[in-house]
């Protein structure tokens, strides 16, 4: 049974019940009224000929029976009249209940149609209740916000699928073209072209592994072995791992002494992976003669520890800052694929940091260059 029918029935039952109570109470109320004024069904009204001595003159009125009959008729008429009024009131109340039920259920029907449309895949539909100031307006605004999030999520999913296909297609195309050229005799059967195939196969493997890591982390299914870890040691270890590569690129990697000893509750291997991805990005975007600095300090929240990585590279454009941690996002669409980057490094950083219950962000470093920071829960 629909809500509108239930409301109509409820209004009608209230109206009928009210009318019934009035009808049942009417005889009792009338009888009490007659009793209070000293009249009853058997009393007689003295005629104009009755005197103080009880004699009868020519103007004597009707007897007691006539007066009682008249009172009974008046009583019956009043009961019928009140019953008719009560019935009419019940009918009007029922009609008003139908109108009220229709008005009350109309926004609910609109919301039902919108929900059905969203379920069928039309994520652009809205409830139309956002302008209301009552509880239904709150419900409509919540529904519209949900539909908007679903629409954005669907758009991001489609964009990610397109980007992933593009990223996977590039190394596959290189492998297919190289092997075909070798088989057709265009390229010789030498190690150089075998290395090309191997490098592109490794890139494919890295893209697949990175996508899997992000999926597990964002889905809350990534296993983390959390233990108390000294942040200073983690930072020093990450800097040592990149010393050779940074030196080959003409870049200096330095570590600022931490203001105090800090320990975080984290998976040390995953944090090293995070720092390696940020440092890899910094080395690739810092020109020869530049500098990368790792620093540890207090976070904006007492329960967190912050690690910041600054470089003196080209920095991050203001328009790109909100998207640098998105999957497969590249500020430069024409980046060189020969770097071996999967385009997922910073996306993995965000996924792993958030899996630890932390936060990550990026900004332009003072004096130019990029600043990437992350905060992890203090042990």
Residue pLDDT, tens place only, 257-282: 887 778 999 999 999 989 988 998 89
Instruction: Check residue 53 and give its pLDDT.
Output: 44
| Structural class in CATH, domain 227-377 | alpha beta
Confidence of residue 48 (pLDDT cuts 50, 70, 90): very low
Across the chain, mean pLDDT equals 79
Instruction: Check residue 66 and give its pLDDT.
Output: 67
Q: Which of 82-91, 171-180, 297-306 has the highest mean pLDDT?
A: 171-180
Q: 27 versus 107: which is more confidently predicted?
A: 107
The phi and psi torsions of 263 (rounded to 5 degrees) equal: -125, 135
pLDDT tens per residue across span 224-255: 899 999 999 999 999 998 888 899 999 999 99
pLDDT tens per residue across span 198-225: 888 988 888 888 888 888 887 788 888 9
Give the list of residues 6+ apart from residue 129 with CB closer than 8 angstroms, or none: 107, 110, 111, 136, 137, 139, 140, 141, 143
- pLDDT score of 46 more than 60: no
The CATH architecture to which 150-218 belongs is Orthogonal Bundle (1.10)
pLDDT tens per residue across span 73-132: 777 777 777 777 777 777 777 777 777 777 777 888 888 888 998 888 888 888 888 888
Q: Which of 121-130, 185-194, 270-279, 340-349 has the highest mean pLDDT?
A: 270-279
Structural domain boundaries in the chain: 3-50+60-119, 150-218, 227-377
**Is residue 357 classed exposed, middle or buried when 0-12, 13-18 and 19+ CB atoms within 10 A define those classes?**
middle
The 10 Å Cβ neighbour count of residue 264 is 24
- pLDDT score of 2 more than 70: no
Cα–Cα distance list, 248 to 199, 245, 253 (Å): 20, 5, 12
Instruction: Check residue 295 and give its pLDDT.
Output: 92
Instruction: Check residue 38 and give its pLDDT.
Output: 55
% of the chain beyond a pLDDT of 90: 20
339: DSSP letter:
G
């Amino acid at each position: 049974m629909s809500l509108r029918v239930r409301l109509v029935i409820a209004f009608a039952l209230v109206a009928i019940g009210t009318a019934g109570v009035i009808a049942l109470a009417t005889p009792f109320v009338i009888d009490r009224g007659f009793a209070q004024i000293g009249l009853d069904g058997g009393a007689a009204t003295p005629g104009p000929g009755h005197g103080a001595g009880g004699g009868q003159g020519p103007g004597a009125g009707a007897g007691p029976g006539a007066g009682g009959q008249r009172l009974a008729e008046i009583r019956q008429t009043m009961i019928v009249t009140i019953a008719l009024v009560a019935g009419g009131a019940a009918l009007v109340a029922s009609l008003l209940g139908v109108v009220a039920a229709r008005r009350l259920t109309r926004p609910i029907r609109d919301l039902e149609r919108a929900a059905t449309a969203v379920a069928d895949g039309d994520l652009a539909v809205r409830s139309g209740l956002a302008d209301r100031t009552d509880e239904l307006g709150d419900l409509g605004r919540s529904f519209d916000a949900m539909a908007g999030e679903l629409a954005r999520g669907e758009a991001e999913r489609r964009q990610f699928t397109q980007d992933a296909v593009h990223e996977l297609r590039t190394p596959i195309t290189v492998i297919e073209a190289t092997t075909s050229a070798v088989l057709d005799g265009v390229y010789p059967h030498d190690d150089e072209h075998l290395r090309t195939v191997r490098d592109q196969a490794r890139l494919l493997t890295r893209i697949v592994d990175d996508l899997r890591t992000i999926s597990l982390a964002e889905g809350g299914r990534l296993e983390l072995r959390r233990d108390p870890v000294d942040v200073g040691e983690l930072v020093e270890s990450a800097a040592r791992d990149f010393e050779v590569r940074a030196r080959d690129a003409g870049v200096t990697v330095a570590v600022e002494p931490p203001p105090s000893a800090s320990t975080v509750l984290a998976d040390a291997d995953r944090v090293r992976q995070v720092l390696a991805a940020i440092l890899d990005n910094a080395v690739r975007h810092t020109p020869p003669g530049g500098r990368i600095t790792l620093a540890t300090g207090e976070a904006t929240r007492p329960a967190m520890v912050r690690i910041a990585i600054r470089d003196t590279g080209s920095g991050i454009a203001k328009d790109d800052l909100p998207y640098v941690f998105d999957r497969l996002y590249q500020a430069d669409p024409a980046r060189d694929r020969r770097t071996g980057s999967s385009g997922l490094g910073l996306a993995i950083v965000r996924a792993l940091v958030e899996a630890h219950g932390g936060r990550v962000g990026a900004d332009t470093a003072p004096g130019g260059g990029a600043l990437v920071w992350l905060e992890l829960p203090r042990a």
